[in-house]
Structures are given as C-alpha cells and as structure tokens.
C-alpha cells in the first residue's frame, strides 16, 4: 500500500528539484528524506526521479505518478476536511485569505472574537493582494477569501457574497501643499506620489496618471506600493505622498489633526469586497461562524463611517 507521507515527499521533491530543499520543506533530515523516496520507488518498482543532472527531475514514469499523486493528496485533504465538518466548532479549523482593506476593517476583529469564543479552533490567515486571494480559494488552498470581488468572472466556480462597499477618501498630511484646498481635480494630484496597495483596474480613472496598470496582473500599481494601509499612512504622514483609505482607517489621524481629507471626491470611489468560496464546498461550522462575525463587524464599520462622515466628511 502506498504511504501518503511518501507521496507528499515525492511532490515536494518535484516542486523543489533538490533533495536538501525538499527535505527542509517537509521538516526531515536529508538522509531520512532520501530513504523515503528510495522506499517509494522500491514499492512501485520504478525509478521516479533522474538524479544525474544538477537538478532532480521526474522520469517519464515519475510524471505519470506525480499526476496521480496530486489527486491523491487533494482527495486526502478533502477527506480530512469532511471529517472535520462533522466535529463542529470546538475542534474545527479555518483557513482564510484576505485583502488588506477587509483585514483592517472587519476580518482581524472577527477572527479575534471567533478564537476568543471558540478556543479550540485552529485558524490561519494570509493577507494577500486580491488576485492571490482568488487563486488561493480556487486552488482549495484556503477555505474562504475576503477580498475584491468585482474582477471575478461571472462563470467562476466561486460562490460570492458582497460585503464591504465603504467609501474611500484621498488623504494627506496636515501641512501638505494640497491641504485645505477646495475643489481639487485629478490633475492636481499628478505631482504627488500615491502610497497604496495594489488596486483593481476599475478605479484607474480616479487615480492620477502616475499609477499604472500592471500588464501581468491587471492591477493598478501606485508609485509607492505597500502591502497594508498602515504603511501607506505612515509614509503619508512623513512625506508629500497621498494615500486612500476609509474614514474608520484614518479616524485616529483625523481626530489628532495629523491627516486631513482632500477635497477630491470622485463618484464611485468605494471598496467592493466580499466573501467567496468554492460553490461545490460546503462551508464548515468554523467558516460559517467566522462569516457571521465578519457581517457584524461590517455593520459596525458602516455605522462608524456614517458618524465620521458627519464630523469630517462634509
């Protein structure tokens, strides 16, 4: 009978093309890893990998084996997940991929509440750009994504629930040249770099021309690219860079007067993120509990944004 661990070792060797790196990836010593691959080849009665060249490569039979091995590994993951579904919240697991805005506005707090209420849940979260989040969900690497949904095609195998459509505001430091100017136009932003995460192409007409479309990813790429809004705001506080955020994200800076909102309010400048997961995958109890808490946090964020708009946005 084939050993699942040895199958995983073969997949790791195929991925890394090197015994030392593959052994590190699966937390084994190299001698133990080499013995595992040799034992697998002995069980099958064939050589799976060419070892003569600088990089370890699969043989023709090895390629056939690896195709089946990937299916076996995925089926094993799905079996474990199906078993976990029957165990409920107290022994469940949850893997999430999330975009920056969703993480800062609602997801981080929802996870904190989830693990506080259900202490046995094991949770992992990856914060990534929205294209990566979509890929992670589509490849079954995570249970659920919370990120930009406007670019997901209509024929996607993903189930989608719109969630956060908060208005976004351009902002600058208190002594910025554009501070307190009225009726700012898009062209007025041109001399100043934008500090931001990558954004969907749908907002390209809102941003100045110093932001460009990446031909590979289709994302709008700013001159100063960061991976979270806090980094963008720190740069904005200490330079003539301009950033974009929701009112809840910049509330502390508005209250202490270190950041102000620019009088450039293009129509339709809002977030558009939501939940998405594979439609053929039943959400686990942990996933459903997480989604419920995120919805509550989103409701609070909408209320908070309305309060802040009355104070700072008019």
CATH number at residue 294: 3.40.190.10
The CATH number of residue 56's host domain is 1.10.10.10
Q: What is the value of pTM for the model shown?
A: 0.72
Mean pLDDT across the stretch 283-305? 93
Based on the fold, state whether residues 139 and 199 are members of the same structural domain.
Answer: no
Domain end, chosen from 46, 61, 84, is at 84
What's the chain's average pLDDT? Answer: 90
Assigned domain for 271 exists: no
Whether residue 2 is predicted with pLDDT greater than 80 in this model: the reply is no
* Whole-number pLDDT of residue 89: 60
Overall number of domains in the chain: 3
Assigned domain for 222 exists: yes
* Percent of the chain clearing pLDDT 70 (strictly above): 96
Assigned domain for 243 exists: yes
Mean pLDDT across the stretch 29-33? 89
Assigned domain for 269 exists: no
Whether residue 199 is predicted with pLDDT greater than 70 in this model: the reply is yes
Based on the fold, state whether residues 253 and 195 are members of the same structural domain.
Answer: yes
Name the packing angle between helices 229-237 and 247-256 (round to 10°).
30
Assigned domain for 272 exists: no
Based on the fold, state whether residues 233 and 285 are members of the same structural domain.
Answer: no
Range of the domain at 175: 169-261
* Whole-number pLDDT of residue 270: 95
* Whole-number pLDDT of residue 85: 60
Residues 52, 56, 59, 62: is their CA dihedral positive or negative? positive
Based on the fold, state whether residues 249 and 173 are members of the same structural domain.
Answer: yes
Based on the fold, state whether residues 180 and 255 are members of the same structural domain.
Answer: yes
Based on the fold, state whether residues 283 and 154 are members of the same structural domain.
Answer: yes
Assigned domain for 273 exists: no
Based on the fold, state whether residues 93 and 126 are members of the same structural domain.
Answer: yes
Phi-psi region of 272 (alpha: psi -120 to 50; beta: other; left: phi over 0): beta
pLDDT tens-digit map of 34-47: 999 898 888 888 89
Give CA angle at 81 (79, 84), nearest 5°.
115
Contact (CB, 8 A) for 133 and 145: yes
Based on the fold, state whether residues 230 and 188 are members of the same structural domain.
Answer: yes
pLDDT band at 77 (very low <50, low <70, confident <90, very high): confident
Tallying the residues shown for the chain, one arrives at 314
Based on the fold, state whether residues 175 and 252 are members of the same structural domain.
Answer: yes
Assigned domain for 163 exists: no
Domain end, chosen from 84, 107, 130, is at 84
* Whole-number pLDDT of residue 53: 66
The CATH number of residue 248's host domain is 3.40.190.290
* Whole-number pLDDT of residue 312: 84
Domain end, chosen from 59, 84, 109, is at 84
Chain center to CA of 196: 15
Whether residue 254 is predicted with pLDDT greater than 70 in this model: the reply is yes
* Percent of the chain clearing pLDDT 90 (strictly above): 55
Task: Return d(Cα 238, Cα 27) in angstroms, integer.
Answer: 43
* Whole-number pLDDT of residue 82: 67
Choice between 236 and 79, residue whose per-residue pLDDT is larger: 236
Based on the fold, state whether residues 191 and 61 are members of the same structural domain.
Answer: no
Mean pLDDT across the stretch 52-69? 85
* Whole-number pLDDT of residue 233: 96
* Whole-number pLDDT of residue 84: 64
Based on the fold, state whether residues 151 and 234 are members of the same structural domain.
Answer: no
pLDDT tens-digit map of 80-136: 766 666 655 655 789 999 999 999 999 999 999 999 998 888 899 999 988 999 999
* Cα–Cα distance list, 245 to 13, 226, 256, 257 (Å): 43, 13, 17, 16
Based on the fold, state whether residues 52 and 199 are members of the same structural domain.
Answer: no
Assigned domain for 202 exists: yes
């Amino acid at each position: 009978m084939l050993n699942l661990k040895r199958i995983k070792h073969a997949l790791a060797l195929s991925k890394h093309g090197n015994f030392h790196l593959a052994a590190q990836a699966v937390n084994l010593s190299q001698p133990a890893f080499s013995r595992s691959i040799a034992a697998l080849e002995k069980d099958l009665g064939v050589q799976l990998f060419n070892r003569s060249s600088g990089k370890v490569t699969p043989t023709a039979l090895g390629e056939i084996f690896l195709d089946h091995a990937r299916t076996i590994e995925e089926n094993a993951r799905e079996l474990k997940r199906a078993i976990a579904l029957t165990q409920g919240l107290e022994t469940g697991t949850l893997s999430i991929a999330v975009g920056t805005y969703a993480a800062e506005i609602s997801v981080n707090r929802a996870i904190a509440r989830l693990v506080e209420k259900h202490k046995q849940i094991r949770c992992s979260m990856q914060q990534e750009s929205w294209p990566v989040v979509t890929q992670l969900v589509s490849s079954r690497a995570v249970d659920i994504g919370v990120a930009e949904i406007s670019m997901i095609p209509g024929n996607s195998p993903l189930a989608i629930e719109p969630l956060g459509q908060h208005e976004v505001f351009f902002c600058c430091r208190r002594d910025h040249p554009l501070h307190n100017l009225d009726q700012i136009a898009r062209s007025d932003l041109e001399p100043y770099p934008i500090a931001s995460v990558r954004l969907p192409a749908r907002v390209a007409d809102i941003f100045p021309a110093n932001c460009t479309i990446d031909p590979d990813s289709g994302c709008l790429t700013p001159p100063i690219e960061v991976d979270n809004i806090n980094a963008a705001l720190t740069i904005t506080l200490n330079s003539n860079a301009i950033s974009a955020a929701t009112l809840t994200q910049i509330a502390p800076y508005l209250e202490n007067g270190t950041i102000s909102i620019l009088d450039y309010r293009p129509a339709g400048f809002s977030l558009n993120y939501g939940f998405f997961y594979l439609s053929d995958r039943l959400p686990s109890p942990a996933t459903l509990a997480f989604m419920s808490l995120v919805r509550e946090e989103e409701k609070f964020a909408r209320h908070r944004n309305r309060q802040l708009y009355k104070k700072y946005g008019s």
